Structure 1
Amino acid sequence: MSARRSLSWSSALSDMRNDRVQVPAGFLGARGRIEAAVRFGKVALVKADGSFDRAGIMTAAAAAAKAHQLTYGSTWAVAMSVALKAAWQAGRTARGRAAH
């Protein structure tokens, strides 16, 4: 057995890039739709006491999922997954903003 090992830096860096978290298709659009709904007062993601408004998050996610389905032609499960991820991320951001 050889005491030396060869390492391909290009394949190692390529593998590292592939391991990073990929943003799902339509995530940024869903997040934008949810933030617009919050900005126009259609839904609230955070209650006055600082807790998450789960009904508001679900309402915003359902609306964003419908738009995602129309745009990408995906299944309801995929569209709802993308929209819920975006809604919770927007909710965490809104809660952080409200705390300061």
Structure 2
Amino acid sequence: MSLQRSLSWSSALRDLKDDGKRRPAGALGAQASITFKARTRPLVAPTGAYDRAAIMAAAVFAAKTHQLTYGSTWGVAMSLALKSTWAAAKAARARTAH
């Protein structure tokens, strides 16, 4: 057995960059259902404040859809849905601010 190990820095850094690019299963589906739900009830008020009730309603809707589609646990589905919903709300707020 060799006492020295070889390390390719370029492949190690490429692997680190690739780890951040992966999306969890169902992320695009969650974004689509959030966009659908946000059409009926906006996530941001005209004043620029977050509508937390609308955000939670959209997240629950997306989590239920994700759970039915992928069979994941409620915690995983809700985590993915809340991350996607808050990202959509922040984007909507940025659009209304400018």
Q: Deviation string for 1:35-88 (max 9, x for gaps)?
A: 11112x2x2210121011111000000001000000000000000001001100
Query: Which of 67, 75, 91 lines up with 1:93 in the alignment?
Result: 91
Opposite residue 30 of structure 2, the aligned amino acid is A
How far apart are the structure 1 equivalents of 2:29 and 2:85?
11
- Structure with greater proportional helix content: 2
Task: Structure 1 unaligned segments of length 5 or more: list them.
Answer: none
SS of equivalent residue, structure 2 residue 57: helix
Task: Structure 2 unaligned segments of length 5 or more: list them.
Answer: none
TM-score by length of 1: 0.82
How far apart are the structure 1 equivalents of 2:81 and 2:61?
8
Aligned-pair identity (%): 59
Pairs aligned (count): 94
How far apart are the structure 2 equivalents of 1:76 and 1:7?
41
Q: Superposed, which structure 2 residues align to 1:6-17 within 5 Å?
A: 7-9=7-9, 11-17=11-17
Q: What's the RMSD between the two structures over aligned residues? A: 2.0
